[in-house]
Amino acid sequence: NAGVIQTPRHKVTGKGQEATLWCEPISGHSAVFWYRQTIVQGLEFLTYFRNQAPIDDSGMPKERFSAQMPNQSHSTLKIQSTQPQDSAVYLCASSDRLGGAEQFFGPGTRLTVL
Amino acid sequence: GQQVQQSPASLVLQEGENAELQCNFSTSLNSMQWFYQRPEGSLVSLFYNPSGTKQSGRLTSTTVIKERRSSLHISSSQITDSGTYLCAMERSGGSNAKLTFGKGTKLSVKS
């Protein structure tokens, strides 16, 4: 079991460029979560999927951020027109069911927007 | 206000001393987890502990759902225990599977 896989581990973009972050959940897990961590805000929820369907995106910024889960083996978080305030560590997690289940986290992607 | 209050914010120990980390929750919770965050940022799940007491080696987690609190006890601390410890809760009710995190306790163990 390789655990949750996230790529790339580090990404540097220029202001205004697009960034796509990838997550591969643990095989067989039906729920996938995205979080981000900054020094100021701490670790905060962005969005999650169950069986590939979006369930709650209440933590996602309304503009420029989008997430998809095209199949059970991966999810993407896309940030358009990146801004310096988007710099953060983006963490993906998965669990074997939605609610009342342990979440397992990937190593994260450190995004730096210059 | 903050839904998850974690204390202390930082803690310095001499190797061999014990530590008690606390989390208090302002809402009813369905479950909670304790994590250790490595220096490079990755999260290691220490305990998934909806209620009661769980032990793993020198670590013990106790969650009292009715009192909306959880603690992490580290016995005989070692230098390698240094790092940031985070607690997170899953609120009860509705489709609240997302975790809400505390701000963390930064632990430093010195020789």
A98 in contact with B, Cβ within 8 Å:
yes
Residues A55-84: tens digit of each pLDDT: 999 999 989 999 999 999 999 999 999 999
- DSSP letters of A38-89? ETTTEEEEEEEEETTEEEE-TTS-SSSEEEEEEETTEEEEEESS--GGG-EE
What value does the mean pLDDT take over residues B82-102? 88
Residues whose CB falls within 8 Å of the CB of residue A16, separated by 6 or more in sequence, listed in order: A81, A82
Beta-bridged to residue B104, according to DSSP, are none
SS3 B80: helix
Residues A30-47: tens digit of each pLDDT: 999 999 999 999 999 999
Q: Which residues of B touch A23 (CB under 8 A)?
A: none
Residues of B with a Cβ under 8 Å from any A Cβ are 30-31, 33, 35, 40-43, 45, 48, 50, 86, 88, 90, 95-104
